[in-house]
Amino acid sequence: FNSTDTPKPLVIVTPSRTSHFQATIYRARKHGIQIRTRSGGHDYEGLSYVAKVPFVVVDLVNFRSVDVDAENRVAWVQAGAILGEVYYRIAEKSRTLAFAGGIYHTIGVGGYIRGGGFGLLFRKYGTGGDNVIDTQFIDVNGRILDRKSMGEDMFWAIRGGGGGSFGIVLAWKLILVPVPATVTAFSFSRTLEQNATQLILQWQDIAHQLPNEMNPDVTMFSINSTQDGRKTILPSFSSLFLGTIDELLPIMQQRFPQLGLSRQDCIEMSWIESILYYNQLQNQPLEILLNRTFRTPVGGQYYKIKSDYVKEPISETALNDFKTALSSWLIAESWIGFLRRQHHSRIEPAYANYRDLDIGSNNVGITSYTQASVGGRKYFKNNFDRLVQVKTKIDPENSFKHEQSIPPFL
Ligand code: FDA
């Protein structure tokens, strides 16, 4: 999105007070200019700062205060704050409180919660959106609304119904959740020669039954084999556990002895240190979490992302097909196409925070309900119609729109 022919905004507004938002929305509507709202700027299709029509970017970079009330376990967070700022400010007050946010610390709180938001605490405490109890929001008429004045339907819609469709979130009131003083991370790999395929098959049956204090994960990396140099896959098994190594090991030995998890595979740390660990920033000062332009090794590459929900375990045949595809040196694009062909009939809706224009895109002019529902139903299934109802009520003239925004009924 950073090339010379990428469409640029007419103006970038960086409001420092509420009246700046009101003036911008008023003038943009008057002149028929589209508004793109940017919090952290991590939209996977760049929809918060690229448009094909004349547009203004409203950038919340100056709207990022984080006010933590550790005693009452809540925080008021302005939408332009990044997750790292939230985690850092919570840790300043308490090392045993956390927000159920994502791993990557430069994600904006605004966009993250607009799409739901899952992270390391998802199984224990739900999504980021589940942990919001109030909001400050500005609508197309410049009205400042909170949870009570906007009503429950609207409050539901802005915590998962996708960003950029209803208005601008100025702040969220977050629930802070308890975490133990010591947490444990493990991550280790098994080669195919070490029976990794069988382990993955077993993992699929067992992982979801492990305690909610864990977030079990398997990632398959493509590597060059040390034996013949050809491409092969290296599965990596990992989890964070809300507890100590001594508490974790008996659980794993009882529930999943085949994995052979040992003390050497595990590392203890505090919750805030686990954020550094998963960002590959171990041994860095905590202040690095405040750097919103920092590019970690995790976020430094350019890539396209696709998300599918697999509702039944991936079969051994399909796993072997992965391996064959990779060892045949297929390029990434072919590999993705291959996956879709194999599993298409089982694909469930995509995840709204993993924006993907391939699954559907609105027209540039008038947004048709039929066309918008193609992508919309993949993200939201039957909730799409409820989102359309909220949109019709709050923004009937469709002033807040983009390629995948929720349309009003015309
Ligand atoms: P950005 O500012 O680009 O906004 C995204 C969308 O929300 C746009 O449509 C924008 O207009 C709208 N929006 C933003 N602020 C708004 C506001 N204040 N009011 C109204 N609309 C607003 N997700 C996840 O759930 N778990 C994870 O672990 C990760 N990990 C991850 C890693 C990396 C490297 C990336 C790039 C992304 C993720 N994500 C993720 C996805 C991420 O949650 C998603 O891209 C968010 O929308 C990013 O929010 P930003 O505020 O940074 O984006």
Summarised one tens digit per residue, pLDDT across range 97-107 is 999 999 999 99
Strand partners, 187: 238
Whether the predicted pLDDT of 115 surpasses 80: yes
Q: What's the pLDDT tens digit per position in 277-335? A: 999 899 899 999 999 987 755 555 677 887 877 778 889 998 888 777 666 644 443 33
How far apart are the C-alpha atoms of 90 and 247, rounded to whole Å? 26
Whether the predicted pLDDT of 149 surpasses 80: yes
User: What residue's CA is closest to ligand 1, atom 4?
Assistant: 111
Per-residue pLDDT, 297: 55
Per-residue pLDDT, 343: 38
* Per CATH, domain 11-59 is 3.40.50.300: no
Per-residue pLDDT, 340: 35
User: What residue's CA is closest to ligand 1, atom 36?
Assistant: 42
What pTM was computed for the model?
0.93
Per-residue pLDDT, 331: 45
**Minimum-distance ligand 1 atom for the alpha carbon of 80:** 18
Share of the chain above pLDDT 70, in %: 92
Taking residue 169's Cβ as centre, other Cβ atoms within 10 Å add up to 26
Residue 232 vs residues 313, 326, 327: alpha-carbon distances, Å:
21, 6, 5
DSSP element (H, E) containing 308: none
Same topology between domain 11-59 and domain 183-269+309-337: no
Q: Of 44, 112, 125, 354, which residue is the catalytic one?
A: 354
Residue 146 vs residues 64, 333, 338: alpha-carbon distances, Å:
18, 44, 46
> DSSP assignment, residue 82?
B
- The pLDDT-based confidence of 128 (bands split at 50, 70, 90) is very high
Residue 211 vs residues 123, 214, 240, 268, 271: alpha-carbon distances, Å:
9, 6, 11, 18, 18
Per-residue pLDDT, 253: 97
Q: How far is the centre of ligand 1, averaged over its atoms, from the C-alpha of 356 (Å)?
A: 13
Whether the predicted pLDDT of 187 surpasses 80: yes
User: What residue's CA is closest to ligand 1, atom 27?
Assistant: 102
* Tokens at 110, concatenated: 């605004």
Task: Please calculate the CA angle 116-240-156 and round it to the nearest 5 degrees.
Answer: 15
354 catalytic per annotation = yes
DSSP letter for each residue of 245-301: HHHHHHHHHHH-GGG---GGGEEEE-HHHHHHHHTT-TTS-GGGGG-TT---TTTSS
DSSP letter for each residue of 152-197: HHHHHHTTTS-SSSS-EEEEEEEEPEE--S-EEEEEEE--GGGTHH
Whether the predicted pLDDT of 341 surpasses 70: no
Q: If you average pLDDT over residues 194-215, what whole number do you get?
A: 92
Residue 275 vs residues 36, 171, 173, 249, 380: alpha-carbon distances, Å:
30, 23, 21, 22, 29
Per-residue pLDDT, 222: 76
Whether the predicted pLDDT of 370 surpasses 80: yes
Per-residue pLDDT, 271: 98
Q: What's the pLDDT tens digit per position in 223-234? A: 777 777 777 778
Is 175 or 300 the better-scoring residue by pLDDT? 175
- The pLDDT-based confidence of 391 (bands split at 50, 70, 90) is very high
Whether the predicted pLDDT of 55 surpasses 80: yes
Share of the chain above pLDDT 90, in %: 74
Which CATH code, of 3.30.70.890, 3.40.462.20, 3.40.50.300, 3.40.630.10, is assigned to 183-269+309-337?
A: 3.40.462.20
User: What residue's CA is closest to ligand 1, atom 35?
Assistant: 42
Q: What's the pLDDT tens digit per position in 5-29? A: 999 999 999 999 999 999 999 999 9
Taking residue 1's Cβ as centre, other Cβ atoms within 10 Å add up to 12
Q: Virtual CA dihedral for 312, 318, 323, 324, nearest 10 degrees? A: -160
Q: If you average pLDDT over residues 378-392, what whole number do you get?
A: 95
Return the SS3 of 101: coil
Per-residue pLDDT, 346: 41
Whether the predicted pLDDT of 220 surpasses 70: yes
Q: How far is the centre of ligand 1, averaged over its atoms, from the C-alpha of 104 (Å)?
A: 11
Q: What's the pLDDT tens digit per position in 158-167? A: 999 988 999 9
Where exactly are the structural domains of the chain?
11-59, 183-269+309-337
User: What residue's CA is closest to ligand 1, atom 16?
Assistant: 110
Q: What's the pLDDT tens digit per position in 222-272? A: 777 777 777 777 888 999 999 999 999 999 999 999 999 999 999 999 999
Q: How far is the centre of ligand 1, averaged over its atoms, from the C-alpha of 262 (Å)?
A: 36
Of 106, 114, 131, 307, the one to substitute when testing ligand 1's pocket (max ligand atoms within 8 A of C-beta) is: 114
Return the SS3 of 231: strand
Per-residue pLDDT, 35: 97
How does the average pLDDT of the chain come out, rounded?
90
| Pocket around ligand 1 at a 6 A CB cut-off | 36-44, 47-48, 60, 79, 102-104, 107-108, 110-112, 114-115, 117-119, 163-164, 168-169, 299, 353
Q: If you average pLDDT over residues 24-36, what whole number do you get?
A: 97
**Minimum-distance ligand 1 atom for the alpha carbon of 117:** 25
Q: If you average pLDDT over residues 392-400, what whole number do you get?
A: 96
90 CB contacts (<8 Å, ≥6 apart)?
Answer: 68, 70, 75, 97, 98, 99, 176, 272
Per-residue pLDDT, 344: 38
* Tokens at 88, concatenated: 């850092």
Per-residue pLDDT, 15: 98
| Dihedral sign of CA atoms 280, 286, 287, 289 in order | positive
Q: If you average pLDDT over residues 375-384, what whole number do you get?
A: 92
| Dihedral sign of CA atoms 84, 172, 166, 17 in order | negative
Q: How far is the centre of ligand 1, averaged over its atoms, from the C-alpha of 113 (Å)?
A: 8
